[in-house]
Amino acid sequence: MSKTSLDELPAEGGRGNGPLLDVDNLHVEFATRAGVVRAVNGVSYSLNPGETVAVLGESGSGKSVTAQAIMGILDVPPARIPQGEVRFHGTDLLKLSEEARTQVRGQRIAMIFQDALSALNPVFTVGWQISEMFRVHRGMSKRDGMKKAVELMDKVRIPAAKQRVNDYPHQFSGGMRQRIMIAMAIALDPEVLIADEPTTALDVTVQAQIMELLAELQRESNMGMILITHDLGVVADVADKIAVMYAGRIVENASVHDIYKAPAHPYTKGLLESIPRVDLKGHELYAIKGLPPNLLDMPTGCAFHPRCPYRQDDCVTDAPPLYEIGGTRNSACHYWREVLDGDQG
């Protein structure tokens, strides 16, 4: 197999045809003692410049593993990518050499993590960690790198950046640490930013600050953002498109307005209905019954069928494909018409 070289990627700033990032039929599996866990099972989505795609799902749905596969930070083994492509400007990242991937990772595609305290190194100053991006990727001197670090800390609005550049991560609050993570991620002006639950560990007031900062940085540089979250409120606030994941598959794919107006998959519908609403105070909340499946012991047919109010006999035997349901919408439910109309099966 011939290795695709990095040269085929358009230079930074140059835009090829088609989407910026295109995840196509991605599969990821992990070898465990108990057997092979298929964490990601044929996931596809695409991202355009300036666009925000939210990947929504519960723990174990495979949303973070997909992101790690895009970044190329999965531990192989135990992980394995048996099939699928991750095309960046049309070039399949999975076929690149490790050396070429290092050139993409951090420079062209960057990532921020949920827990900033454990993602930052406790024994180096934050300035050192931010400037590392410039020293490693741009070959800058320590002094120039530090200057850049202060600039970036200003940009993510850390007060008194000049004085704080030599502080250690534990000297910052949770929100400030997340800003430092963001500063590192945007240091080299990436085209794609993957944010994996960037505000889950933060208070709502700080969450609002961070989401506003991300939106502003995105407007400035027109980068594409993949936002991984389980919070339906955050998604409604910032996303353009949503991919809903359940048990390693995308079950619904649509624009943010379509999904909140009329979900086309029973799982999405259940999630939206279980949000407490003012007009239903005093009533029992709608709850999706049962539990998410064990990935080692997946149900036959549609993975959601044991919990689904729309279930028919064929759901138990035939796994639904991702049906095209008009425009750019998809739903992996045999009975998406009934779900859209709201008739309970």
Partner 1 sequence: MATKGERILEVRDLVKHFPLTQGIVMKRQIGAIKAVDGVSFDLDRGETLGIVGESGCGKSTLAKVLMALERPTSGSVMINGKDIAKARGAELKRMRRNIQMVMQDPYTSLNPRMTVGDIIGEPYDIHTEVAPKGDRARKVQELLEVVGLNPDHINRYPHQFSGGQRQRIGIARGLALQPEVIVCDEPVSALDVSIQAQVINLLERLQNEFNLAYIFIAHDLSVVRHISDRVAVMYLGKVVEIGNDVDIYDKPAHPYAQALLSAVPVPDPEGREQRERIILQGDPPSPANPPSGCRFRTRCWKAQEICATEEPLLQIRPGTTHESACHFAETHDVVHVN
- Residue ranges in contact with partner 1 by CB under 8 A: 58-59, 159, 173-176, 203-209, 211-212, 230-237, 239, 256-257, 260-261, 270-272, 274-276, 278, 281, 284-289, 291-292
Give the phi and the psi of residue 20 in degrees, each rounded to 5: -65, -50
Pick between residue 294 and residue 300 the one whose CB is nearest to partner 1: 294
Helices (H), 187-252: 204-221, 232-238
Pick between residue 110 and residue 238 the one whose CB is nearest to partner 1: 238
Pick between residue 184 and residue 239 the one whose CB is nearest to partner 1: 239
Residues whose CB is less than 8 angstroms from the CB of residue 22 and which lie 6 or more positions away in sequence, other chains included: 46, 47, 85, 86, 87, 88, 90
Pick between residue 152 and residue 235 the one whose CB is nearest to partner 1: 235
Pick between residue 72 and residue 248 the one whose CB is nearest to partner 1: 248
The nearest distance, CB 107 to partner 1, in angstroms, is: 31
- At residue 6, the 3 state secondary structure works out as helix
The nearest distance, CB 172 to partner 1, in angstroms, is: 9
User: What is the residue whose two structure tokens read 């835009």?
Assistant: 15
The nearest distance, CB 277 to partner 1, in angstroms, is: 8
The nearest distance, CB 63 to partner 1, in angstroms, is: 12
Going from the C-alpha of 221 to that of each of 30, 187, 193, 217, the distances in angstroms are: 36, 12, 11, 6
The nearest distance, CB 149 to partner 1, in angstroms, is: 21
User: What is the residue whose two structure tokens read 């092979």?
Assistant: 36
- Separation of alpha carbons 34 and 236, rounded Å: 38
Pick between residue 19 and residue 266 the one whose CB is nearest to partner 1: 266
Helices (H), 243-335: 256-261, 266-273, 313-317
Instruction: Report yes or no: 186 and 152 within 8 Å, Cβ to Cβ.
Output: yes
The nearest distance, CB 330 to partner 1, in angstroms, is: 18
**Residue type present at position 204:** V
